[in-house]
Amino acid sequence: MSELQLKALRFQMNPHFVFNSLSAIQYYIGENNFEASETYLVKFSKLIRQFFELSKENEISLATEISVLNNYLEIEKLRFKEKLNFTINIDEKLDKESITIPTMLLQPILENAVNHGGVFNKMDNGLITLNFVNISPLAFKVEIIDDGVGFVNTKKGHTRKLNLQMF
């Protein structure tokens, strides 16, 4: 990726995510659930702070990226009222502190898995799994897995819904 592309990616924060988070906080306040609204607000502000601080960096440690991803998933779990579950598996052979990656490289991909994965298109809880696997001393693999119904089935579901609405 070019330097300009990396900068654009780092400054990208999905406006829908921000709006949805603020709407969820407002909902909890409206329901007089001050404990949930405070928890949500604290986690949201921590993530926003991380986004702004890290936007100045070209690279960050894998440990820092994992922290951002964990904070992001915690917020989404609150938004979906525990309907979203997640696990983060880290190969113990990975030196998370010394491995560096481009800043905010994985968060947009993870956000896509949350928004288009199991939570929206399943009747039961959705599961997001992140695997960080050591391949060799110079390489590692990241897997972002959701247990959603899949793109084809999601598209079919939307088509049926649209057809029903037309009648």
pLDDT digits 0-9 by tens, 120-147:
666 678 899 999 999 998 899 999 998 8
Is the pLDDT confidence value at 5 over 60? no
Backbone torsions φ then ψ of 23, nearest 5 degrees: -65, -40
Burial class (CB within 10 angstroms; exposed 0-12, middle 13-18, buried 19+) of 155: exposed
Is the pLDDT confidence value at 96 over 70? yes
What is the pTM for the complete model shown? 0.79
Phi-psi region of 125 (alpha: psi -120 to 50; beta: other; left: phi over 0): beta
- Rounded Cα–Cα distance for residues 113 and 116 (Å): 5
Name the residue with higher pLDDT: 116 or 22. 22
Most confident of 16-20, 33-37, 145-149: 33-37
C-alpha radius of gyration, the chain, whole number? 18
pLDDT digits 0-9 by tens, 44-60:
999 999 888 888 888 99
Phi-psi region of 81 (alpha: psi -120 to 50; beta: other; left: phi over 0): left
